Amino acid sequence: MPPDQPTGYLIVSAVLFTIGVVGVLVRRNPLIIFMSIELMLNAVNLSFMTFARYLDSVDGWIFVFLVLTVAAAEVVVGLAIIVSIFRTRRNIDIDELDSMRG
């Protein structure tokens, strides 16, 4: 397979994304869930880069930078929320945080 074919990269990206989805769905520790979300984001970044290269366009690059920035901000906010939840409740099990149940 010539190196400029995107198939391999896309398969890796799909695998990484799936691992991330499963991680979000099955794990109960919010830190792990966060890492899984990062995994999903980076899988998407990988596809963006692949197509950017394949189509010879810079649009994908720009998207990647955007995603990286937003991901960084999201991690900051999310970790802060997790820390403050832990401080008040001494417990961060995601299934026990159900005070918004209808």
Partner 1 sequence: MQVFDLTPLVLLLPLLGFLVIGSLRLFGLHEHTEMISWLGCGFVAAAFVCALVSFVTLTNAITSVSDTTLWSWTDHTGNLSVSIGLRLDALSAVMLLVVTGVGLLIHIYSAGYMHGDPSYWRYYSFLNFFIFAMVLLVAADNFLFLLVGWAAVGLASYLLIGFWYQRPSAVAAAKKAFVVNVIGDFGLLLAIFLLYSKFGTLAYTGILFDPRNPGAAAASAFGVNDPMLIAITLLLFLACAAKSAQLPLHVWLPDAMEGPTPVSALIHAATMVTAGVYLVARTSNLFNYAPTSLWVVAGIGGATALFAASIALVQNDIKRVLAYSTISQLGYMFMAEGAGNYAAGIFHLTTHAYFKALLFMCAGAVIHALEGEQDIRKMGGLRKKMPWTYGTFLVGGLAIAGIVPFAGFWSKDAVLGTLLAQGTASGASPWYLVLYGVGLATALLTGFYIFRLIFVVFHGTYRGETVGAETQAEARARQRRRGDPLARVHEAPWIMLVPMVGLAALSTIGGLYGTPWGDVLSQFLAPVLGINFLPDTFVPQGALLWISFGAGLVAALMGIGVAIVMYLRRTPALKPMRNPLYQLLLHKYWLDELYDWVLVKPVVGAGRLANRWIEGGLLDGGSRGLAWLVGKTSIGLRTIQSGYARNYALVLLVGALIILLYYIVMIRP
Nearest to 36 by CA among 89, 66, 75: 75
- In angstroms, the Cα distances linking 28 to 9, 24, 75, 97 are 30, 8, 17, 11
Select from 34, 30, 32 the least CA-distant residue to 85: 30
Least distance to partner 1, CB of residue 87, Å: 19
Nearer to partner 1, 7 or 58 (CB): 7
For the bound state, the minimum distance from the C-beta of residue 21 to partner 1, rounded and expressed in Å, comes to 6
By beta-carbon proximity to partner 1, the closer residue of 16 and 33 is: 33
Enumerate binding residues for partner 1 (CB under 8 A): 21, 24-26, 28, 33, 94-95, 97-102
